[in-house]
Structure formats: structure tokens, C-alpha cells
Amino acid sequence: MIRVLFLPFLQISSGHHHVADGMIESLSGKNGLFDCEKIDILSYRFGKIEALVSSIYLKWIHHFPRLYSWIYRKSVYENEMDHNRYRMYEHLFLLSMEKLIEEKKPHLIICTHALPSYLLNQLKRRKKLTIPVINVYTDYFINHIWGVDEIDYHFVPNIESLDYLKDRGIESERIFVTGVPIHPKLKEQKKETKEQNQYTVLISGGNLGVGDIKSFIQKLHPTDDIHYRVLCGQNKNLFQFITEMKDPMIIPLSYISSKEEMNQLYHEADAIITKPGGVTISECLFKRIPIFVYHALPGQEEINLCYLKKQGLVFQLENWNSQSNLEEQILSILLCEQHQNSLNEQLNAYHQHLSRHDISVLIKKILTTHRI
């Protein structure tokens, strides 16, 4: 039995957890070969304080988005220096990380968040860790907190990230362009044909209760051309808000735990309106669903959006708050053959760089290399 330890960060529902859960699902079906466990180092170190930290983090983004964006860019995105040190993180977590590894005795560690990766990179630099470590990046860029030099393997989202790591001196044999990994049950590509007398559009991005999704929905003014399905997740306030609108063309959907059900919703969708979070975007890129971005949270999502727009992979709905014809703007893109042809060209260019191997196959190859 091969023990694999997954390290996201915080307990809030985020891309770090979704990616880890999908990889665990993929590995768990391999004839009982893998014993996977997912642990948040903050909860492991401080227990219930994690819930307080998560709450403060979300409120900070919601109430002071510009401040968060500025601090994020200055601290972990701009002005890169070799061997950045984040001594506060080391002081708070490094001994706990050593204790966790000694307790769990994993054969392989997979980081889906930058902070655990940074800590493990420090342990490897100090010759205190020989267990192979994989970084799995969940955004479309690599921030400076991620441990890089001493990490054994890197599963990167795009060819630009591969080039970035190679410029840092990482051998290409240690880098795999996987895209942001998605759950294996969302990889079914079958799509039912239907009469195109009405579009079905998913709306996502309200699960954490931050952002402008309520204002956006109020601006839609649906006609009979588009039927909207809003993924509310665990945001009960959003679900109630849409229910009370009593608009037959805007249907709220509560938390969906079934990946098969989510997969079917994707198959029925002609487009999605969302924020540029790494996992949702990756799922839609895989499904080749046209993506409209209505809002980006400060920090990671803003940087993701810049990349996605530059690559022509998303359509941004700009200045929607001051428009009265938002649905016309959406239809003008869905009905435009030139827009759709351009999108297909960009999607083809994006997909041609991705590894053809399943994540589990790559991990088995890595374990064979290390003779585990």
C-alpha cells in the first residue's frame, strides 16, 4: 500500500481541495494500491482557530478587495527574488510539518497549495526530507510562495508555467503540463444533441458568499432566449434570493455533491458565466464550454483573468453594472460564428500542450522512478 499525503490549506471549499479530492478519487480506484489522506496544516497545527482564520480571510476579500489585491501582488507575485524566505510561516508551521510527516509516514506528498510546498521545500533544502514531493498548481500562474527548486515534480497548468520553471533551472523531465486537474467523473465528454431554440447558461461563483453575483443576476432581465441555472453551492442566502425573484428563466440550484449530476449540467450547458477560479475554468476548458467572466476576486483570480483574456479563452462581460442589455451582449457572442471559430482555435492551441496521460499514470511513473 502506497501512502499519499495531500496538503491543501484552510478548510474552505476552494480549488486546492477540489483538485486534491479529484486526484484522490483517481488514485483510489487503482486496485487498492493507494492509501490517500488530505490534511490542512493550519487545522493540524492550531485546531479550531482555522475556522476563524478562514472567516477573516473571506471578510478581508469582501470588504477590502483593493487592499488585498495590492498586498497579494506586492508580496507573492511581483518583484521576485531568488530563495524568498517567509520566516513567519517557518516559525508557525515548520516543526508541525516535520511532526505531521513523521506521524503519517507517507511515501509521496502532493501539495495543492503554495504554503505547504514552501515548507517542504525548506525541509528538503535542509536535508530533512527525502520523500518525493509534487506541486500541483491550481491557478494559471505560479506565485512566489510555492517551493520550486527542491520540489521533485511539478504538475503545471499551461506551457507558460513550464517555461517559467525551466527558466528557474528546473529540468523539463520534472515538469508535466497537466492543466489544472479536474475530477475524473467530469471527464465524460458525451453531449446530447438538442434543438437550438433556447440556450442554457450556467452561472457559478456564489458559493463563498463574496463577489457581485446578486447584482449581476438582477441585471440579466431574461427573455425567452436563455434559460439560466445558478449554482448556489452552500450559499443559502443566494438560493433564497433567486427563489424570491420568481423568474421562471432563472433557476437556483443548491449544493450539488454528485459529480455525475454536475457532469450532466455541464453537458446541457451552452455557456457558463463565472469567476476565473482555476478549477471551474479548467473544467469548462476541458468541456470546451464558452466561458463568460463577470467578476474576478482580488489576487489570484485577477491574475488568472489577465492570462485567460490574453490567450483568448474567455469572454469578459465588462461594465455590466451600467448596462441594460446584458443578455444581448451574451447572445451576440453565442450567435457570432467568428467569435466561436476564434474560441475553438484558442482551445485547440491550449489543449495541444497538455499531457495525454492521466494524472494517476504520471504518479505511477514517478513512484517507479523512485522505486517506491
Q: Which CATH number fits the domain that encloses residue 228?
A: 3.40.50.2000
Residue 227 has a pLDDT of 95
| Per-residue pLDDT tens digits for 165-184 | 999 999 999 999 999 999 99
Give the distance, in angstroms, between the CA of residue 99 and the centroid of all CA atoms in the same chain: 28
| Per-residue pLDDT tens digits for 278-313 | 899 999 999 999 999 998 988 999 999 999 999 999
Q: Are residues 202 and 165 in the same domain?
A: no
Yes or no: say if 247 and 352 are a contact pair by the CB < 8 Å rule: no
Range of the domain at 240: 187-351
- The x, y and z cell numbers of residue 174, run together, are 520534472
Q: Are residues 208 and 61 in the same domain?
A: no
Cα(266)–Cα(260) distance, integer angstroms:
10
Q: Are residues 166 and 217 in the same domain?
A: no
Transcribe 218-239 into DSSP letters: HT----SSEEEEEEEET-HHHH
What's the pTM value of the predicted model, to 2 decimals? 0.91
Q: Are residues 279 and 247 in the same domain?
A: yes
User: Residue 108: is it exposed, middle or buried by C-beta count within 10 angstroms (0-12/13-18/19+)?
Assistant: buried
* Residue 144 three-state SS: coil
Residue 30 has a pLDDT of 66
Q: Are residues 346 and 358 in the same domain?
A: no
Q: Tell me phi and psi for residue 353, to 5 degrees.
A: -90, -10
| Per-residue pLDDT tens digits for 128-146 | 999 999 999 999 999 999 9
Q: Are residues 345 and 359 in the same domain?
A: no
Integer angstrom CA distances of residue 367 from 8, 86, 157, 228, 359 = 21, 30, 21, 45, 12
Exposure letters 12-32 (e unless 16+ CB within 10 A, then b):
bebbbbbbbbbbbebbeeeee
How many independent structural domains does the chain possess?
Answer: 2
Beta strands in 87-160 (DSSP E): 108-111, 133-136, 153-156
Cα(212)–Cα(322) distance, integer angstroms:
13
Cα(179)–Cα(279) distance, integer angstroms:
10
| Per-residue pLDDT tens digits for 69-114 | 888 788 787 766 555 788 989 999 999 999 999 999 999 999 999 9
Q: Are residues 208 and 162 in the same domain?
A: no
Q: What's the CA angle centered on 17, arms 2 and 52, to 5 degrees?
A: 120
Q: Are residues 211 and 293 in the same domain?
A: yes
Q: Are residues 144 and 11 in the same domain?
A: yes
Q: Are residues 28 and 130 in the same domain?
A: yes
Q: Partners of 315 in the beta sheet?
A: 292
Q: Are residues 48 and 111 in the same domain?
A: yes
Percentage of the chain with pLDDT > 70? 94
Residue 24 has a pLDDT of 95
Cα(253)–Cα(245) distance, integer angstroms:
14
Cα(45)–Cα(96) distance, integer angstroms:
6
Query: Is it the case that residue 210 has pLDDT exceeding 80?
Result: no
Q: Are residues 93 and 54 in the same domain?
A: yes
Q: Characterise 154 by phi-psi region: left (phi > 0), alpha (psi -120 to 50), beta (else).
A: beta
* Residue 229 three-state SS: strand
Provide the mean pLDDT of the chain: 90
